[in-house]
Structure 1
Amino acid sequence: MSTLDQDIERRIAREVAAWQERVTSRGEPLQIDEGWLHTPEALRTPFAVLKSAGIPPAEVELFQQRSRLRERLEACVEDSERLTLQRELSGLEQALAFRLEALQRLGTG
């Protein structure tokens, strides 16, 4: 083996060791909370990756929309608007139920 190959191998080994030192010294222990325990095992890692990237699952936005619709419905005084909001809330709750059921199947499948 030439000295150039040996120099390259040593340099790669030093860089890998430095990278490993940076990675292992910054890790934090996994926080196990109630949400983690209720998440299907097959979905825990993908959701953890999304969470660490600051991207909430789409279902979170649906829950927030549902909450806002419920607040608007409680504050509504007109019957026609109330009926429209009830229909919208019903459709949103159905879509949310389908998504949660699909996630449950995906997590157990």
Structure 2
Amino acid sequence: MSTKTLDEHIAEQLAHSQRSGELQSAESWGKPLDFGDGYAQTPEELRMGFKILKDAGVVPHEVEMFKQIAALKATLQHTTDEAEATALRRRIAELQQAVALRLEKLATSRRL
């Protein structure tokens, strides 16, 4: 009695689905897969670099800036001190402007 590997089992099921026409009737048949990770939207010349960073667990600086903005907004919601709230709003605005400028530069020049 031979035991099939997981890959062999998957291949067998895919072959069966293809023979039965199940795959071809799927709405996404023949279309590129969208994994929701932004790969298709990333300019081709930046994909490899971003993939290397992602695989290494490093996120682009803009992502870190978005995280900082979210944390500052959460702090702002809970502060009762008006001076602190003003300082938080100013820092949020500065970070939002910095992100916007970096993203605009990236969109126009394809580099940061």
Distance 2:72 2:57 in 1: 25
Distance 1:45 1:89 in 2: 31
1:62 aligned onto 2:65:
yes
1:5 aligned residue:
none
Matched-pair contact (CA < 8 Å) for 1:41–1:107: no
1:101 aligned onto 2:98:
no
2:91 aligned residue:
88
Greater displacement, 53-62 / 80-89: 53-62
Q: TM-score, normalised to structure 1's length?
A: 0.63
Q: Which runs of 5 or more structure 1 residues have no equivalent in the other structure?
A: 1-30
**Secondary structure in 2 aligned to 1:46?**
helix
Distance 1:43 1:81 in 2: 39
Q: Tell me the matched-pair count.
A: 78
Alpha-carbon deviation of 1:32? 5.0
What are the equivalent positions in structure 2 for 1:1-109 lying under 5 Å apart? 32-34=34-36, 35-107=38-110
Q: TM-score, normalised to structure 2's length?
A: 0.62
Look at both structures and tell me which one has the larger radius of gyration over its CA atoms: 1
Residue identity over aligned pairs, in percent, reads: 38
CA deviations on 1:16-41 (whole Å, 9 max, x unpaired) are xxxxxxxxxxxxxxx85231122222
Post-superposition, which runs of at least 4 consecutive aligned residues in structure 1 deviate over 4 A? none
Q: CA RMSD in A?
A: 1.9
Matched-pair contact (CA < 8 Å) for 1:73–1:85: yes
Alpha-carbon deviation of 1:62? 0.5
CA deviations on 1:54-101 (whole Å, 9 max, x unpaired) are 211111111110110110111111111111110011001001111111
